A and B are shown apart, each in its own frame.
Chain A
């Protein structure tokens, strides 16, 4: 699958909406991120122009916050929780297993744009530890077998590995 085409008209609409508000950079970027699933690097300059700041300032804010990404993500974003409670209950092994199954490192997206693997500091769902999120769904009390079945649900079969 090729990366999605960007609808530049949509970007103009978003920029127009925030242009005249004060201190609007982060809400604007959040909107772009939500609309496109990432912040296309090409959008940095128009945003900076509209808000009358330097592109470097926009870039700086994007790279500072983990909520923004300059790369397109996969259809399913896996967030493996690396919070303390999950850690105590073995989330490092879970992460190692997910990495192996998807053949991805943290922050990487598969070539077919199906999966993105991320870790997160804490999902605030410690009662489910160890836990992970796929898009907006939680999966808790994980073990390798359960991870396989979760990945299976999202169309990743064990045979695809090799």
Chain B
């Protein structure tokens, strides 16, 4: 590889692209050319850096200077000051909200210092579209070791030693899953990668695929070796065009290098991978449904047993692993199971990637060692709640998960501990909610999602979630009765106990967990016909509180429906006839004068 004075690691993840990283890159390329710096300074488009909140971001190597919120307008100054004169541009660096101090180096920013990069070790460091860069960082060394130096039994035993558990949500021990499949005697076996990330609020698989696609391929090769499979499929959402593109490229490159195909690394082992695009159904994240979908049928789950390890895709023994699980594999083989198990808790080892979103300052992707507390994740890494609002709850585990309130914030991140407080680890979506979030409305939101995505095969899930939703909607409209709460609880138990697959069995979780911690909010809706967080619009009539109104007219300017009348030095008035309850005025008022 050629040597450059500076390397500009520009994030090209979906987040930064949506924030305009492409336009910035074009401008930067032109400017470097114009100033004849293009020979000594190289731009490298990397995968997701993780700090999506401040995108587009760029890391200048080897100096380690981190730039954020870049705009094409900043290019001339950046090139002139930093790249020519060697004076980093302070204006574009990260400012810590609390202390208002500028932090120039990426390694010193609290968002990064508290993290432990294993799955995401290559994020922002390599160009995901060039296989050599992955290999330069020990890529495919794990696969080589597994193929040439280890027996399948040794591979499985190493994974078992690592304590790695499925990162898709349920947390089944990966080594055990492989062992079951390896014991099945059949000529044809399959390795599948579940990249059908459908949980709302989760985007870590997408980022791993975009930043380090080869790590997933390598994991699949090792899995195939362990169970002796010759064919693999990656089931990926169509909604992730960039991930699909990079996977496709990675597979082609790996084939060219003899890392996929026949006689891999002259070991006599054959394995090839194909991509299969999902067609948009949440339930296809369930393993048996996913296999049905690859077979070209309606993606509906079936009862287990038989388990996929014995009868999976096309009734052949199949191992299905999640993207993040697979991205861990190569390093376990390379560094040993004990190395992996050296961090974490008793039952949960290694690290977990979370997508931190919602009402939190540092939205983005974080990878933390198992065992740190939710409080550390939300406040130390996440930087706390914006707009000086109060923390209310954190939602973990997607639609199957639950809401965890303030008093449980010191719960460590661990599969079992999280279940104890009423949520699940899930795939890793962490949605932080502040005081302006209504918990009844959250329950309604998740039920709406679940009953929409229920495949309809089993009655408890299809009908039960529908009934739950109806009751909650009634409560949100102020027509609830106290006995509804009991009905909700009973019905939830039935759905939980009698549904066919994981989707139905966990569907009532959002209701149960909000009832457990926020029953008072349900009661406020039912008895007082009042939404404490002011979210359920049916219970709201907007009016301006004349005592608090500072007569600034901001609400008047914001209202899209012309429902507010205001004149200078007068209190604003809202016409409820015209009001479309868009909450704009409520959001924009700085004095909380609208209620």
Q: A residues bordering B, Cβ < 8 Å?
A: 23-27, 29-30, 57, 60-61, 64-68, 82-85, 87-90, 93, 96-97, 100, 120-129, 136, 138, 140, 143-145, 148
Contact = CB atoms under 8 A, between A and B. Distances in A.
Contact of A127 (B364, B452, B587): B364
A63 B398 CA distance: 25
A126 B355 contact: yes
Contacts of A127: 15, 52-53, 55, 357, 363-364
A128 B584 CA distance: 18
A143 B587 contact: yes
B378 to A, nearest CB: 14
Interface stretch (B78-86, B291-299, B338-346, B406-414): B291-299
Contact of A125 (B15, B282, B294, B299): B15
Contacts of B432: 88
Contacts of A145: 558, 560, 584
B298 A61 contact: yes
Interface string B138-151: 00000000000000
22 contacts: A26-B293, A29-B279, A60-B298, A64-B281, A82-B200, A83-B201, A84-B431, A88-B359, A88-B437, A93-B584, A121-B200, A121-B282, A121-B452, A122-B198, A124-B14, A124-B206, A126-B363, A126-B431, A127-B15, A127-B52, A127-B363, A143-B558
Given A83-B200, A85-B357, A127-B53, A143 B206 contact: no
Given A67-B238, A84-B358, A144-B582, A124 B296 contact: no
A70 B262 CA distance: 42
B197 A100 contact: no
A136 to B, nearest CB: 8
Contacts of A84: 200-201, 357-358, 395, 398, 429, 431, 445-446
Interface of B: 14-15, 18-19, 52-53, 55, 197-203, 206, 238-241, 277-282, 293-300, 355, 357-359, 363-364, 395, 398, 429, 431-433, 437, 442, 445-446, 449, 452-453, 455, 558, 560, 580-584, 587
A79 to B, nearest CB: 9
Contacts of A23: 294-296
B280 A125 contact: no
Nearest to B53: A127
A121 B198 contact: yes
Contacts of B15: 125, 127-128
A135 to B, nearest CB: 12
A124 B240 contact: yes
Nearest to A138: B18
Contact of B296 (A26, A90, A96, A125): A26
Given A88-B359, A143-B587, 7 more contacts: A61-B296, A84-B357, A84-B358, A97-B560, A127-B357, A129-B358, A136-B241
A63 B187 CA distance: 35
Contacts, number: 141
B206 A129 contact: no
Given A23-B295, A97-B582, A128 B18 contact: yes
A120 B240 CA distance: 13
A148 B296 contact: no
B580 A122 contact: no
B584 A123 contact: no
Nearest to B300: A64
A88 B431 contact: yes
A87 B445 contact: yes
Contacts of A123: 239
Contact of A61 (B206, B297, B355): B297
Given A93-B584, A144-B560, A124 B238 contact: no
A154 B277 CA distance: 30
Contacts of B359: 88-89
A136 B445 CA distance: 26
B581 A90 contact: no
A65 B363 CA distance: 31
Contacts of A65: 279-281, 299
A88 B358 contact: yes
Nearest to A84: B201
A26 B279 contact: yes
Given A65-B281, A121-B282, A125-B14, A93 B296 contact: no
B449 A121 contact: yes
A25 B296 contact: yes
Contacts of A93: 581-584
B283 to A, nearest CB: 9
B280 A96 contact: no
A140 to B, nearest CB: 6
B239 A124 contact: yes
A64 B298 contact: yes
A127 B69 CA distance: 13
Contact of A129 (B357, B395, B398, B442): B357
A96 B299 contact: no
A66 B280 contact: yes
A101 to B, nearest CB: 8
B357 A30 contact: no
A67 to B, nearest CB: 4
Nearest to A53: B296
Contacts of A66: 279-281
A129 B433 CA distance: 13
A140 B16 CA distance: 12
A116 to B, nearest CB: 15
A22 to B, nearest CB: 8
Nearest to A128: B18
A139 B18 CA distance: 8
A63 to B, nearest CB: 9
B200 A67 contact: no
Nearest to A29: B279
B363 to A, nearest CB: 4
A18 to B, nearest CB: 10
Nearest to A33: B279
Q: Which 5 A-B pairs have the closest CB atoms?
A: A83-B200, A67-B280, A65-B279, A122-B200, A126-B357
B358 A124 contact: no
B402 to A, nearest CB: 12
A125 B15 CA distance: 6
Contacts of B282: 121
Contacts of A121: 198, 200, 282, 449, 452-453
Contacts of A82: 200, 445, 449
Contact of B580 (A27, A30, A100, A125): A100
A89 B437 CA distance: 9
A26 B291 CA distance: 13
Contacts of B299: 64-65
Scoring B201, B359, B433 by chain A CB atoms within 10 A of each residue's CB, the highest score goes to: B201
Contacts of B55: 127
